[in-house]
Amino acid sequence: LSHLRASVGTLYLSATHSIFVEDNPETRKETWVLHSMVNSVEMPSNSPAGSQLILRCKDFRVLQILIPQERDCLDIHASLVRLSRPGVFKYSELYCLSFNPNVNKEEREESWSFIDLMSDYRRMGVPNNLWVMTAANSEYRVCDTYPSELFVPKSAAPTIITGSSRFRSRGRFPVLSYFHQDTLAAVCRCSQPLSGFSGRCQEDEMMLQAVMRSNPGSDFIYVVDTRPKLNAMANRAAGKGYENEDHYTNIKLQFIGIENIHVMRSSQQKIIDVGEMRSPSMTDFLWGLENSGWLKHIKAILDAGVFIARAVADEGISVLVHCSDGWDRTTQACSVASLLLDPYYRTIRGLMVLIEKDWISFGHKFSHRYAHLDGDPKEVSPVMDQFLECVWQLSEQFPCAFEFNERFLLTIHTHVYSCQYGTFLGNSQRERKELRLPERTHSVWSQLWKDRVDFRNPLFKADLSQSQRVLRPNTTPYCFKMWKGLYSHIDKSMPPCQSPADFLSAMREESQQLEEEIAALTGRPIVWEKTEVLKRRTTHLQQRHLGPDPPTSYIQPITGHGQAVALKQANQMALNKEPNLYLPTECHSKLKDHDPDDCSTCSDRESGVADLRSRSSSGGDYAKDPDWE
Amino acid sequence: MELSEHIKTANVEDAVLRQPLHPAARGTLCVTGHHLLFSDREESSPQHFLLLLRNIDAIEKRMSGSSGTITIKCKDLCVLQLDIPGMEQCLNIARSIETLSCLENVSEMYPFFYRPSDQSLKDQWGLSSTEKHYSQMTDLHDRWRVSSVNRDYSVCPTYPQAVIVPKDINDEMLVKAAKFRHGGRFPVLCYYHRKNGMVIMRSSQPLTGANRKRCREDELLLQAVIDGSDKGYIIDTRSSQQAQQARMTGGGFESKSCYSCWKRLHRQVERGKALQESLIKLVEACGNDSHNMDRWLSKLENSKWLSHVQTALSTAGLLAECVERDGHSVLVHCSEGTDSTLLISTVAQLIMDPCCRTLEGFLALLEREWVQAGHPFQKRCAHSAYSHARLQQESPVFLLLLDCVWQLLHQFPLALGFSEALLLRLATEAYASSYGTFLCNSDKERSVAILSMKTLCLFQALLRPKERRCYANPLYERTELAIWPSVHPQSLQLWRGYFLRWTQQARHLEEAQEEIRNMVILWEKMFEYVCFNFFMLS
């Protein structure tokens, strides 16, 4: 099945999944692959044993299937190609419309109101006497890719807004993205001006003045053009471009140099290839990493965020961010900056709000970028992947600053592609409304919130984020690493040898229980004596720590298509609760009958790993160095 | 010549000290025979900064007008700057540092003067000895014995007085076998695998030379090692070409015809000059704050350090695999048998043996396999990555070992009983120390210098309860089985805690470690409390 471990079984195709059931009668391990997660189906030339199919998934897993009969293989290939790519305008074929977790209507509606953007704006202190809500875009009259509710400077009259929007690409005029209460400076976003070589627009200039004036402490604003300067200049030839500092008074223009979606797409392909290398040498690996340029791009995005955050928090200067259309790089830069500025966005719920606000509501083109439908391949680009990776890089640098863990980011990544929920569907708020998604699909956020225990970072220090409100990351190149959790096959195919995070989570939970017990015992608060304590562990805790880790590579949590199925799946969910596909299955059977006091279970798991590992690393190849006598 | 004669200017007022992660401080600088002492002028809470002169790897002086700046680059990779008023004072201080930081005479070094109030010279020196090691492994006794053939260090100057050898081989045969091995390092036992009775032996290369000499006793000795089982493996940590070439200079390898039961495997593990240069390149890359990602990655690649880590780990994995999984005894050697040989056998023992993974066990392992086994610490750690001095015998083999152990710790955060802090401490102490443990190059030299009477033992000091708290791994949980490291490039990481130690990044990681420790302590306290109350109630 996979390139690391082969097994024999039966392949089933359903309307939504490919299901592979192993023949091994003891386990009958099942592997489910959602059709919408399939990126490509390849059929390499036939081998004597039969025909091959290679499934490449959007979460970068690769499955190889060997089918004895060539005719069957062709059939399956044709079906999979069709099923994994709904037609251009056929949202109706997407999985989220048939996906029906067992919840009633009220719950579904509630799930859509789980994230409330207006309350987030209130949280950051708007509307206030500087920023107000404008009705200009209700019914999406001014800009069809913006949300209907927008905040603009108080002094910006409707005529200025419409005037400015006519001078901006796709009508995306400057609006508020984040308001920093401590300094009253704001992060605003828009698209490039249609200036060409000499064009100017009075209303747009007034709009920028209004943005500046809405920050009482400052006498200029930064305009951050996230593109490389060369690209911005090239755009002038097409009647677009960037703000001319002679026309706009009191602005400072800054180019950041994030590359465009096409560069990013090919760069990601290269880093995926690096992750798929079978047994590269260290040199091959580092060369591949360098050649892909991927970390360079991640660094550029983070640098943009750092620049904005520094301007807002340290200098108290408002920033206007744009790129070309203002929905890819701008979104990345704004959301990274918000994450650095506001500890709220570093919590589980906060990150959901941030994505809902900067990405979903401001018209990041999810359906185009993540190929939900069979569309223009040139529109596809890993913009969101990069944002999630920026968050991951930050969480590696500040292990105590984030409430969520890597698993949360990986799960979001999966759902951006999976089309299982309606949250990430469509290209703008307007499109989502027209598709009536809230009535026909479910929202992912409330589901993730339900599972939040799995996503918690045990090291998170809430009090730290109070004292250290603004994160000031180091962006020297040596701070960046390849995100193994997403790109490395080795990591996906093997269970983490030992996960201190899971252990700590269990311990933290345990501590809370103990605390309750103590409270029950004594009925009074506890004062700890300063005594040296002997090391001891409960078997209870040990067991938990030894249990199979919840899925890190996530495909399964599919909660059935109806009740009957849901029941059947409950069994198999238990089976699938593991980093799937490649794990030696013996570990389950062992876990079941293991004695609570037997501390060797942990080791059993390890030795399972060992088998694989040493084979891939050092093992078995003594013959390589022939005796040369 | 007294040390004080090297000090022309002992005190400088109004100097400015700049160190990483701290604001610049103004105060008094003082040079003593072994230290730089800086006290700042902060009246409310005066801060003292003490730097062992031995820790200084290189200095650079820059004069401007009447004052000068000395940049001090330490062996622990810290870079400091001192602004000193007065050109003459500055030059005097620079000269004192230059001379005093590389004293040659062992007995002048600081460990001979270090007398903290809470430790005494009468404290026990050392954790392990051959005899103790032997007595702990009773399974070994019917086939192996302790030989004191080297009691006056005449058979092998770099071995300790007692070594473990097969029972069937008498001392006379050992003397003859020693003559056939480079530096007299005849094959001795270093590890006994309880599960299957297989052993790891180590030695230096055999002196076969160009005309293929043989040594009956050496062959018998190895025959006695695998007595009863069908074959053993020899892991030569040189490439086969290197081993061939060694014959030209009198060295060589075990030929198949003479050692028919042994199968030889070659894995090239870098050591010596190449390794030192690799470290220099890596440190240079880490010190470069340029914001160019491509340049960083290509410099990291170019340094080859991670490749060396990868080779070392996979060779150790191979060794462990031979012993643990295939059930064969192994002899490991390079040329001298004092560097990569020790590296490979130590990592393999950590992979296989849970006893080596405790704090005490690890320190005892280091004592046996590095200090007593004759790794020439003084030569190898004379200079680190910054020195401009011409390279002599410097080579960061021990640092490479610590990096490999860190990779293990990184991949198995619960399996090792000690923390990253211990590895960092050892990395520092190996280059400059107040303790005598890493002084000298062999057991013989140490006994001549009477280290055990005149200096304090680092390993004992690290095991005191107060120190233990920061060097124990709070998450440690003993596992009896082997921990097989992944040697895939994606699984290996730059040891940021060491190479980027003086950056803000390392601070955040330390915070996280502290948080883990606190959580564990809190949990244990609560647990104790509940148990206690439960006990009282029932």
User: DSSP 3-state assignment of B51?
Assistant: strand
d(CA B345, CA B182): 18
pLDDT at A253 over 80: yes
Residues of chain A positioned with their CB less than 8 A from the CB of B292? 477
User: Is residue B21 less than 8 Å (CB to CB) from chain A?
Assistant: no
Contacts A–B by Cβ distance under 8 A: 223
User: Is residue B519 less than 8 Å (CB to CB) from chain A?
Assistant: yes
pLDDT at A89 over 70: no
Residues of chain A positioned with their CB less than 8 A from the CB of B413? 498-500
φ and ψ of A530, to 5 deg:
-90, 80
Query: How close does chain A come to B476, measured CA to CA in Å?
Result: 10
Closest residue to B286, CB basis, from A478, A499, A607? A478
- Which residue is closest to A528 within chain B, CA to CA? B525
Give the CA distances from residue B217 to residues A345, B164, B214, in Å, rounded to whole numbers and listed in that order: 73, 16, 9
d(CA A617, CA A624): 13
Share of chain A above pLDDT 90, in %: 42
pLDDT at B117 over 80: yes
Strand ranges for B303-372 from DSSP E: 329-333
Between A375 and A495, the higher pLDDT residue: A375
pLDDT at A593 over 50: no
Rounded to an integer, the average pLDDT of B391-410 is 92
Strand ranges for B32-120 from DSSP E: 35-40, 48-52, 56-64, 67-74, 79-85
pLDDT at A600 over 50: no
- How many folded domains does chain A comprise? 2
| Strand A319-322 with A221-225, pairing | parallel
Predicted local distance difference test score (pLDDT) of residue A567: 27
Q: Do A295 and B485 touch (CB under 8 A)?
A: no
Structure tokens at A485: 């959790």
Give the CA distances from residue A29 to residues A10, A25, A497, A594, B451, in Å, rounded to whole numbers and listed in that order: 11, 9, 21, 20, 63
pLDDT at B538 over 70: no
For B497-528, b where at least 16 C-beta lie within 10 A, e where not — what string?
bbbbbbbebbebbebbbebbbebbebbbbbbb
Q: CA nearest A330: which of A338, A321, A318, A339? A: A321
Which string of DSSP letters, residue by residue, matches A437-491?
A: HHHHS--HHHHHHHTGGGGB-TT--HHHHHH--S------GGG----HHHH-HHH
Residues of chain B positioned with their CB less than 8 A from the CB of A463? none
Closest residue to A498, CB basis, from B304, B415, B508? B415
d(CA B202, CA B191): 9
Give yes or no for a contact between A351 and A345, defined as CB atoms under 8 angstroms apart: yes
Please report how the helices B420-431 and B397-411 are oriented relative to each other, as an axis angle in degrees rounded to 10: 180
- Which residue is closest to A488 within chain B, CA to CA? B490
Same domain (yes/no): A308, A438: yes
User: Is residue B261 less than 8 Å (CB to CB) from chain A?
Assistant: no
Helices within B158-239 (DSSP H only): 171-179, 216-225
Q: What is the interface pTM, i.e. ipTM, of the complex?
A: 0.90
Catalytic residue numbers of A read 323
Identify from A494, A617, A621 which residue to disrupt to test chain B contact, counting B C-beta atoms within 10 A and taking the largest count. Answer: A617
d(CA A547, CA A602): 8
Q: Residue A502: CB partners within 8 Å, gap ≥ 6?
A: A545, A549, A550
Same domain (yes/no): A80, A160: no
Same domain (yes/no): A361, A446: yes
User: Is residue A89 less than 8 Å (CB to CB) from chain B?
Assistant: no
d(CA A63, CA A1): 6
Rounded to an integer, the average pLDDT of A219-224 is 94
Identify from A270, A614, A621, A624 which residue to disrupt to test chain B contact, counting B C-beta atoms within 10 A and taking the largest count. Answer: A614
Predicted local distance difference test score (pLDDT) of residue A526: 46
- Which residue is closest to A628 within chain B, CA to CA? B240
| Strand A319-322 with B25-31, pairing | unpaired
Select from A33, A52, A85 the last residue of a domain: A85
**Interface list for A 252-271 with B (CB within 8 A):** none
Identify from B477, B480, B504 which residue to disrupt to test chain A contact, counting A C-beta atoms within 10 A and taking the largest count. Answer: B477
- Which residue is closest to A283 within chain B, CA to CA? B301
Give yes or no for a contact between A117 and A357, defined as CB atoms under 8 angstroms apart: yes
d(CA B510, CA B506): 6
Give the CA distances from residue A168 to residues A274, B199, B238, in Å, rounded to whole numbers and listed in that order: 40, 76, 67
pLDDT at B45 over 80: no
Q: Residue A208: CB partners within 8 Å, gap ≥ 6?
A: A174, A221, A223, A243, A248, A251, A320
Taken in order B437, B439, B442, B447, the sign of the CA dihedral is negative
Select from A432, A459, A487 the last residue of a domain: A487
Closest residue to B504, CB basis, from A474, A514, A534? A474
d(CA B479, CA A487): 30
The architecture (CATH level 2) of B3-103 comes to Roll (2.30)
| Strand B198-202 with A319-322, pairing | unpaired
Query: How close does chain A come to B459, measured CA to CA in Å?
Result: 22
Q: For residue B341, name the pLDDT band (cuts at 50, 70, 90).
A: very high
Select from A50, A85, A120 the last residue of a domain: A85
Sheet holding A62-67, edge to edge: A38-42, A51-57, A62-67
Q: For residue B165, name the pLDDT band (cuts at 50, 70, 90).
A: very high
Helices within A484-530 (DSSP H only): 484-487, 489-493, 500-522
Has A329 been labeled as part of a binding site?
yes
Rounded to an integer, the average pLDDT of A593-619 is 32
Q: CA nearest B182: which of B69, B338, B389, B309? A: B338
Burial class of residue B172 (count of CB atoms within 10 Å of its CB; 0-12, 13-18, 19+):
exposed
Same domain (yes/no): A253, A363: yes
Q: Output the average pLDDT for chain B.
A: 88
User: Is residue B196 less than 8 Å (CB to CB) from chain A?
Assistant: no
Q: CA nearest B324: which of A495, A617, A619, A586? A: A619
pLDDT at A621 over 50: no
User: Is residue B260 less than 8 Å (CB to CB) from chain A?
Assistant: no
One-letter amino acid at A52 equals Q
Same domain (yes/no): A47, A180: no
Active-site position among B334, B356, B381, B440: B334
Q: Do B490 and A479 touch (CB under 8 A)?
A: no
Q: CA nearest B355: which of B163, B144, B192? A: B192
User: Is residue B528 less than 8 Å (CB to CB) from chain A?
Assistant: yes
Q: For residue A43, name the pLDDT band (cuts at 50, 70, 90).
A: confident
**Interface list for A 474-503 with B (CB within 8 A):** 474-482, 484, 488, 490-491, 494, 497-500, 503
Same domain (yes/no): A70, A190: no
Residues of chain A positioned with their CB less than 8 A from the CB of B483? 497, 606, 610
User: Is residue A461 less than 8 Å (CB to CB) from chain B?
Assistant: yes
Rounded to an integer, the average pLDDT of B283-308 is 89
DSSP-based helix, strand, coil % in chain B, nearest 5 = 45, 15, 40
Give yes or no for a contact between B318 and B310, defined as CB atoms under 8 angstroms apart: no
Residue A172 lies in a domain: yes
Closest residue to B525, CB basis, from A533, A606, A627? A533
Q: For residue B181, name the pLDDT band (cuts at 50, 70, 90).
A: very high
- Tens-place pLDDT, residues B343-368: 999 999 999 999 999 999 999 999 99
d(CA A599, CA B167): 37
Predicted local distance difference test score (pLDDT) of residue A6: 65
pTM above 0.80, yes or no: yes
Residue A135 lies in a domain: yes
Closest residue to B321, CB basis, from A285, A397, A614? A614
pLDDT at A557 over 60: no
Residues of chain B positioned with their CB less than 8 A from the CB of A275? 490
Helices within B116-236 (DSSP H only): 130-136, 171-179, 216-225
pLDDT at A283 over 60: yes
Domain hosting residue A53, numbered range: 9-85
Residue A562 lies in a domain: no
- Tens-place pLDDT, residues B268-289: 998 888 999 999 999 999 988 7
d(CA B409, CA B496): 13
Give the range among A310-314, A597-601, B100-104 with minimum mean pLDDT. A597-601
Query: How close does chain A come to B110, measured CA to CA in Å?
Result: 34
State the Cα torsion B365-B369-B372-B374 to the nearest 10°.
Answer: -160
Predicted local distance difference test score (pLDDT) of residue A624: 31
User: Is residue A574 less than 8 Å (CB to CB) from chain B?
Assistant: no
Query: How close does chain B come to A61, measured CA to CA in Å?
Result: 16
Residues B301, B304, B308, CA angle at the centre, nearest 5°? 135
Closest residue to B296, CB basis, from A477, A491, A538? A477
Residue A504 lies in a domain: no
Burial class of residue A481 (count of CB atoms within 10 Å of its CB; 0-12, 13-18, 19+):
middle
Predicted local distance difference test score (pLDDT) of residue B306: 94
State the Cα torsion A92-A94-A98-A104 to the nearest 10°.
Answer: -90
Give the CA distances from residue B43 to residues A345, B26, B46, B375, in Å, rounded to whole numbers and listed in that order: 42, 12, 6, 47
d(CA B482, CA B479): 8
User: Is residue A614 less than 8 Å (CB to CB) from chain B?
Assistant: yes
Residues of chain B positioned with their CB less than 8 A from the CB of A490? 486, 488, 490-491
Residue A67 lies in a domain: yes
Q: Do B411 and A400 touch (CB under 8 A)?
A: no
Rounded to an integer, the average pLDDT of A216-224 is 92
- Tens-place pLDDT, residues B435-464: 989 999 999 999 898 888 889 999 999 998
Identify the residue whose tokens are 């045969």.
B173
**Please, which residues bridge with residue A179 across strands?**
A186
User: Is residue A519 less than 8 Å (CB to CB) from chain B?
Assistant: no
Residues of chain B positioned with their CB less than 8 A from the CB of A622? 233, 263, 265
Residue A16 lies in a domain: yes
User: Is residue B536 less than 8 Å (CB to CB) from chain A?
Assistant: no
Sheet holding B232-236, edge to edge: B188-193, B198-202, B329-333, B232-236, B262-266
Closest residue to A282, CB basis, from B293, B306, B477? B306
- Measured in Å, how far apart are chain B's first and last C-alpha atoms? 73
Q: Do A282 and B301 touch (CB under 8 A)?
A: yes
Structure tokens at A495: 């269970």
Residue A517 lies in a domain: no
User: Is residue B521 less than 8 Å (CB to CB) from chain A?
Assistant: yes
**Interface list for A 135-164 with B (CB within 8 A):** none
List every span in chain B annotated with CATH 2.30.29.30.
3-103
Sheet holding B25-31, edge to edge: B48-52, B35-40, B25-31, B11-18, B79-85, B67-74, B56-64
Q: CA nearest A329: which of A252, A267, A255? A: A255
Q: CA nearest B149: which of B121, B196, B185? A: B185
**Please, which residues bridge with residue B37 across strands?**
B30, B50
Rounded to an integer, the average pLDDT of A299-323 is 95
Predicted local distance difference test score (pLDDT) of residue A604: 33
Same domain (yes/no): A263, A379: yes
Same domain (yes/no): A112, A81: no
Residue A323 lies in a domain: yes
Closest residue to B310, CB basis, from A282, A508, A542? A282
**Interface list for A 357-396 with B (CB within 8 A):** none
Predicted local distance difference test score (pLDDT) of residue A341: 95
Long-range contacts of A376-382 (CB under 8 A, 24+ apart): A378/A262, A379/A261, A380/A265, A381/A261, A381/A262, A381/A264, A381/A265, A381/A328, A382/A264, A382/A265, A382/A268
d(CA A589, CA B361): 34
Same domain (yes/no): A54, A151: no
